[in-house]
Amino acid sequence: MPGFLKRDPLDFLFSLITAVASLSVIVLIGGILYVLVSESSLSIKKFGILQFILSTEWDPVREVFGAASTLFGTLVTTVLSLLFAVPVAVGIAIFITEIAPNPLKGPIGTAVELLAAIPSIIYGMWGLFTLAPIMANYIEPALQSTVGRMPIVGRLFEGTPMGIDLLTASVILSIMIIPFTASIARDAFNLTPSIVKESAYAVGATKWEVIKDVVLPYSKLGVFGGVVLSLGRALGETMAVAFVLGNKHQITGSLLDAAATITVSLANEFTEADSDIYLSSLYYLALILFLLSFVTLAISKLFLLKAERRYSR
């Protein structure tokens, strides 16, 4: 008699339900990939892969499309937002877990988590009506008059400060992803055994030395996981970026110029696609973003697993 027939019926039913739930995720991902490939097939046949990815042209009138400018905007805003957000998020987590007095830990932790609950469109509206004027009138002119005068770095701050540009979009994104990294980093720091920290204090280590040499090395995998989660959020963010980035298909050397990301182009132009090749090219952009997110997170997960094995040894 087969082994699975000897099992308790409820146990078998529970195993079956969990297996179906797990497989449904794979089926859902496969279905999304199939739809994106089939809908973008017309654009793939006309432009190919390398031509579409490397081309900077995006001209709906002549029906000539390329993804280079939107890929540029997506990667620049994502990388800059991580550079801005990760140090701040890790600092918040360190303060909450190691420095703040007990009465402050709860309110600060709750406030950080509430940032994650704010809808992205609210961030976008705040960015457009509040942050963008501040960036245009104060921060960006100050950057131009200081860092902008340096020989090579100064090229990043050329142009007229308008507040609707790559820099402002990156700042908005960084604010949005801070709660994810900070919350996960805080939980990772809390998992550091108290006896390890107390042993370090017992041999005369300062608080900074304990944080640098004990807490951070012990919890670095958790922090990296929070950064990966923030990376996925930054790659796929749409509404907040759409308000403050503009939708200009160009590759620019200045952070003070408007640009376009894949998500912003999809949100702004999907309803305007009046031809099959236009609509197919937008699906092609969505397919590229899907694959980019999948590959990026897969590589990050691979590094995380390797680091975990090395750390466990």
Per-residue model confidence (pLDDT) at position 3: 53
Per-residue model confidence (pLDDT) at position 1: 46
| Distance from C-alpha of 18 to C-alpha of 41, rounded to nearest angstrom | 35
Average the pLDDT over 82-88 and give the result: 94
| Distance from C-alpha of 43 to C-alpha of 46, rounded to nearest angstrom | 5
pLDDT tens digits, one per residue of 238-279: 888 999 998 889 999 999 999 999 999 998 888 888 899 999
Q: Is the pLDDT of residue 48 over 70?
A: yes
pTM: 0.87
Which of 5-14, 16-25, 86-95, 102-111 is predicted with the least confidence, judged by mean pLDDT? 5-14
With cut-offs at 50, 70 and 90, classify the pLDDT of residue 2: low
Looking at residue 64, what DSSP letter applies? E
Average the pLDDT over 166-189 and give the result: 91
Average the pLDDT over 139-166 and give the result: 91
Written as one string, the DSSP assignment of 89-132 is: HHHHHHIIIIIS-HHHHHHHHHHHHHHHHS-HHHHHHHIIIIIH
Q: Is the pLDDT of residue 12 over 90?
A: no
| Distance from C-alpha of 298 to C-alpha of 293, rounded to nearest angstrom | 8
The residue ranking higher by pLDDT, 306 or 119, is: 119
- Residue-averaged pLDDT of the chain: 88
Q: Is the pLDDT of residue 123 over 60?
A: yes
Per-residue model confidence (pLDDT) at position 313: 56
Are the C-beta atoms of residues 159 and 250 closer than 8 Å to each other? no
Average the pLDDT over 50-61 and give the result: 91
Per-residue model confidence (pLDDT) at position 196: 87
Domain covering 68-275+298-312: architecture: Orthogonal Bundle (1.10)
Q: Is the pLDDT of residue 50 over 80?
A: yes
Average the pLDDT over 277-306 and give the result: 87
Q: Is the pLDDT of residue 24 over 90?
A: yes
Q: Quick one: which H or E segment has residue 59?
A: strand 58-59
